[in-house]
A and B are shown apart, each in its own frame.
Chain A
Amino acid sequence: MNLSALHQYLIVKDGVNKLVLLFEKLNGELFKESFTLDGFLTTETSFELTHAILNLLEENKINKSDRDGLQSFFTQIQEQISTLPVIHLMLAFYPKDKTIRAIHDWFYDNYKKTVLLDITVDRTLIGGSVVSFKGRANDYSLKNRIEQMQASD
């Protein structure tokens, strides 16, 4: 399944969790008699996300009225999201959305894969980042660079 339509919503771990919760809720209300997908999305999500989800359904040729099909599709999305690689980044500042998207795009551009970013902040890093992935961590912060320079002196 291609999740490219949701690419802009699959950036940071916290945001994806909200998306997962949204799909869980959607599956829970899917078989209610009064349920309509448009109505639910309009009520529960932003305009952009509603269109992104509808585009994703269209791309994957899912009938909006097929509740079983919808349930299976959203379950697959949830499962696929849960398998997305999570990159832990420690930054020296609270990044703006532009910076986060730039980081996220860097991964997509380099690996052609969607990754989730788990961002934390430590101001003592001064600059750069500490990167952790699959139990491995490397310090690429400015602070570490300075300390190494001091140690070499």
Chain B
Amino acid sequence: MVIEVNLIENFILATVVVGLLAVFAIFVKNALKKKHVGEAENNMPNHESDLSHVAKSPEDQKNMDNPDYMDIIKAAQKHAEDLLEETTRAASEMIAGGKQTNEHIEAQMDKVLQKIAADDIHSLKTTSSQFDREYKETLQDIQKQLQDAAYQAVENSKNTYNEKIETFTKELVKNGLSMQTTVDKKTAELLAKTESEIEEYKKSKLNKVDEEINTLVQKVYRDVLRTSIPENAHEEMIVKSLEEAKKDGMFKL
């Protein structure tokens, strides 16, 4: 990356220098052209009126009258024009060279940029992949931490609830046992009382039933036998009973 940055800086610097040179050359060319054209016009025959104007001073008038002076001026002008052409050409070459350089630099820049882009893409890809991996790892870590935290929270809650449930169960069992004992005791008492009452009731009912049976039997005997027993049979039974009484020693007369 550092190399690519230096190339870009050199390219920009060279472009600026070439541009400045080109501008300077054009400026010098125009200035010289403007000066020499005016002088030449003044010195040329078709510009005699102007030269005549220049040659108003006596010295100038005198120089103009000198043919060597005019030759020197023309040679200087020609030399200047040559120099200007050479400068222009050199500037054009420089500009063309600069253009070529620019194109070269541009191509290099493209390559560099492509390389940079490729590198950046690769880097981005790498970075992205790394980021993605790190992101996934981080996500996994977070997920794991969350899972661990959730698991821990669940475990804590579970332990807390287990403890509470255990305590509640113990209390419940304790109370249940106490209640069961009380219930058993009350049930036993009630059972004994009920059994006693049932026994008494049964006895009472059985006695009542016996009485009713006896009453019924007696009634049957009385109603059936008495009416069916004739008086002579009664008399015989009475005499028989007296015989038994006698046998039993009832009558000690």
Q: List residues of chain A with CB under 8 Å of any chain B CB.
A: 85, 87, 89, 91-93, 95-96, 98-99, 102-103, 106-107, 110-111, 113, 115, 123-124, 126-129, 131, 133-134, 136, 138, 140-143, 146-147
Nearest 6 interchain pairs by C-beta: A140-B241, A131-B245, A129-B241, A127-B237, A128-B241, A128-B237
Provide 13 A-B residue pairs closer than 8 Å at the C-beta atoms, listed in order of the A residue. A85-B253, A91-B234, A92-B234, A93-B234, A96-B231, A99-B231, A99-B238, A110-B251, A123-B226, A124-B222, A126-B226, A128-B241, A133-B251
B71 at the interface (CB under 8 A from A): no
The answer to whether residues A111 and B251 also contact, given A92-B234, A123-B226, A142-B237 and a CB cut-off of 8 A, is: yes
Task: Give A137's nearest chain B residue, CB to CB.
Answer: B250
Taken together as a complex, chains A and B put the C-alpha atoms of A91 and B229 apart, in Å, by 13
In the bound complex, do residue B239 and residue A103 qualify as a contact, i.e. CB atoms below 8 Å apart?
yes
Q: Is the CB of A127 within 8 A of B229?
A: yes
CA distance A87 to B248 in the complex (A): 15
Tell me the bound Cα distance from A103 to B226 in angstroms: 19
User: Which residues of B from 203 to 253 have beta carbons under 8 Å from A?
Assistant: 214, 217-218, 221-222, 225-226, 229, 231, 233-235, 237-242, 244-246, 248, 250-253
List 14 extra interface pairs beyond A133-B251, A143-B218, CB under 8 A: A107-B242, A111-B251, A111-B253, A124-B218, A126-B225, A127-B225, A128-B238, A129-B242, A131-B242, A133-B245, A136-B250, A138-B244, A140-B240, A146-B217
Query: Smallest Cβ distance from A124 to chain B, in angstroms?
Result: 5
**CB neighbours of B246 from chain A (8 A):** 110
Q: Main secondary structure on chain A at its contact with chain B?
A: mixed
User: Which residue among B214, B217, B226, B251 has the maximum number of chain A CB atoms within 10 Å of its CB?
Assistant: B251
Closest to A140 in B: B241
Contact of A138 among B222, B226, B250 (CB under 8 A): B250
Give A39 to B221 CA distance when docked, in angstroms.
52
Alpha-carbon separation in the docked complex, A111 to B250 (Å): 12
Per the bound structure, the CA–CA distance linking A123 and B220 in Å amounts to 12
Among residues of B, the one whose C-beta sits closest to the C-beta of A105 is B239
CA distance A103 to B225 in the complex (A): 22
Bitwise interface map of B from 117 to 145 toward A, beta carbon under 8 Å scored 1, else 0:
00000000000000000000000000000
Contacts A95-B234, A123-B226, A131-B250 hold; do A140 and B218 have CB atoms under 8 A apart?
Answer: no
| Contact A138–B245 (Cβ < 8 Å) | yes
Considering the chains assembled together, what is the distance between the CA atoms of A106 and B253 in angstroms?
13
The distance in angstroms between the C-alpha atoms of A110 and B251, with both chains bound, is 10
Interface core residue of B222, B242, B244, B252 (most chain A CB under 10 Å): B242
**Nearest neighbor of A132 in chain B, beta-carbon distance:** B250
